[in-house]
Each structure stands twice: as C-alpha cells, then as structure tokens.
Amino acid sequence: MITVEVSNLTKIYESSYKKRRITALTNFNLSVEEGTVFGLLGPNGAGKTTLVKVLLGIVHPTLGSAKILGQNINNYEIRKRVGYLPENHKFPPYLNGEDVLRYVGKLSGCTNDEINSRIDGLLKLVKMEKWKKTKVKKYSKGMMQRLGLAQALINNPDLIFLDEPTDGVDPIGRKEIRDILLNLKKEGKTIFINSHLLSEVELISDRVAILNNGLLIKEGTVEDLTTNKETYSIKLTDDIDKLWFEDNFKDFHLGNITANSFEVKVSDEKELNLLIDELRKAGKNIKEIVPVKTSLEDMFISLINESDKKKTNE
C-alpha cells in the first residue's frame, strides 16, 4: 500500500510585503510505500519542511494534491494516526517531560488511559525516564530531541514524520535514535525523515529522494543512487602491462590502472561487452567486473551542483 502520495504539488509562499513570491515546491510527485523508512534529503531551503507541512495540513498547497494513509490531506481525522516531530520544536518551558507527553497526547485525541499507559514506556524508549519530572527549560538540545521523538509516538501512529530528528544529538544518541526507528519499522510503521545529514539517512532509509530548490532531482534506493552505472572496475587473473594496455585499449575511457585491475567508463552495456570481447581476444582472463560506487555524499554534492548550474543557466 502507498502511505504517502504526492501528485503535482506546487507551493508558492506569497507575502504581502513587496509582493514577494517564493516557490518552495514545484510540480512535486512522490510515493512512499507502507512500512518503509523514506529519507528526504536536500540543502537548507530546498523545501523539505514545506512538503511535510503540506502533508500535515499545516500549509496549504498552491496546486496539486496529496494523500496520507489513503486519505486526502484535507481529512483531518486521519491525522490521529500520524506522529510528527517538527523542526526546531519548542515545548512550553514550564512543562516537564511527562506534561509534554500528556499535552501532545490530548491534542492527538488520545484518552487519559491511553496516555497513562504509554508515558513511561516512551520515556524509557528514548532514555529520558530520569527526566520525567524535570522542566523542559532545563533540557539540552539532545534531550529535547529525545522527548520530541517520544511525543511524536504518543498516539501510537502508523505514519511518522520526523523533521531533522537528530539535530543537536550526539553520535551515541543518533545511533540510539536510528535503532528506535528501525524497530518502529519492524512494527510496520512508515517513517518519513527530513534531513540534511546524509550519512544518517543512508544508514536507515529504504528509499531516498533528493530535493533542491523545490524540485525533486532524484529518487531511489540508496543502492540505486550510489551505484555509478557507467564506471566499472575490472580485475584480471594476471598482471597487466600498463603501457601495452593503454596502447591497445586507447579507444576506451580508462581510469585508474593497478597491477591487475583497471577502471573504465562506458556509455552503455554494449560498450562494456565490446571491452570484454577485446580483453578475451587479447587472451586476458577476467576475474571480476563490478560497478563502481560513489558515496551518497559525493552523489548528493554532484547532483546539487548540477541542478544549481542548470538553474543559473535558465
């Protein structure tokens, strides 16, 4: 089942001051499968928060439509099944951890019994049980994020939106949050994470989308996005005579050559097969051919640069 479905969504913020118009999302399309972790990546100002706010009914779309949990986003009843950790959230400073969960639980339409039965478990889950009675004004940024995650789960939601969930959290806390999210996924929940921290998202997301200047520039599994389909590393059984090799294979785009392997950039599979034919003709024994991977970070930076360049040329 598709849990989040966005169709041709455009959001233009208009301010009366100087009649300024900011296009935060342009003709955006997206589907998120039930029970998956979906990472939305993009630099600051890309439109990530706007998308989440549209899906939650906090911001109204200018054009297009969207559905969550099979219902149109205008159907506010469906929000009872949704959890939300806002970016830069602020809870009233005079409340303690327990009060915050109670307050959000009430807002989410939970009964007192439901809230009472969940508070301790949730505080334990995010390792905040010791701080239950401490006012949130005394919490560190990391503690606020932990409590933020707990409050997003108070209504036992099926769909969870987390906007920059590990912002200000130390590395151990981040790992703990990742483990919590993976457990939630095991329970069948759908998790939608906005982040500018690639490595985090890379570790837990089933699929990621990259957003820049309100445009979806790439979507797929981390594996899809980090496999550079055109570059292959080819290992041979015997050592390579570098000079002979460069001379006889000069029609191919050779990359790094080592004692018994080399990289090659091809325009398609046909060219790869042609290269294999040539290697076999030359009596070379092929041991291994593997597509070369780039890190998500390298891919992200090159995609954003490309999309920024395109924008400047327009």
**Nearer Cβ to ligand ADP (47/105):** 47
Least distance CB 23 / ligand ADP (angstroms): 8
**Nearer Cβ to ligand ADP (48/189):** 48
Contacts from 126-133 at CB under 8 Å and sequence distance 24+? Answer: 126/150, 126/176, 126/180, 127/176, 128/97, 131/96, 131/97, 132/96, 132/97, 132/98, 133/96, 133/97, 133/98
Residue 148 binds which entry of Mg ion, ligand ADP, none, CB below 5-8 Å type-dependent: none
Interacting residues toward ligand ADP by CB under 6 A: 13, 15, 22, 24, 42, 44-50
**Nearer Cβ to ligand ADP (21/80):** 21
β-pairing verdict for 82-85 and 20-33? unpaired
Least distance CB 54 / Mg ion (angstroms): 13
Residue 46 binds which entry of Mg ion, ligand ADP, none, CB below 5-8 Å type-dependent: ligand ADP
How far, in Å, CA of 239 to CA of 257, rounded?
A: 11
**Nearer Cβ to Mg ion (49/226):** 49
Interacting residues toward Mg ion by CB under 5 A: 48-49, 87
Residue 222 and residue 200 in contact, taking contact as beta carbons nearer than 8 Å: no
Residue 97 and residue 132 in contact, taking contact as beta carbons nearer than 8 Å: yes
**Coil/strand/helix, residue 255:** strand
Residue in the shown chain whose Cβ atom is closest to Mg ion: 49
Q: Which two tokens stand for residue 114?
A: 């439901």
Residue 76 binds which entry of Mg ion, ligand ADP, none, CB below 5-8 Å type-dependent: none
Residue 178 and residue 206 in contact, taking contact as beta carbons nearer than 8 Å: no
Least distance CB 86 / Mg ion (angstroms): 9
Least distance CB 298 / Mg ion (angstroms): 23
**Nearer Cβ to ligand ADP (22/290):** 22
Nearest to 180 by CA among 126, 142, 121: 126
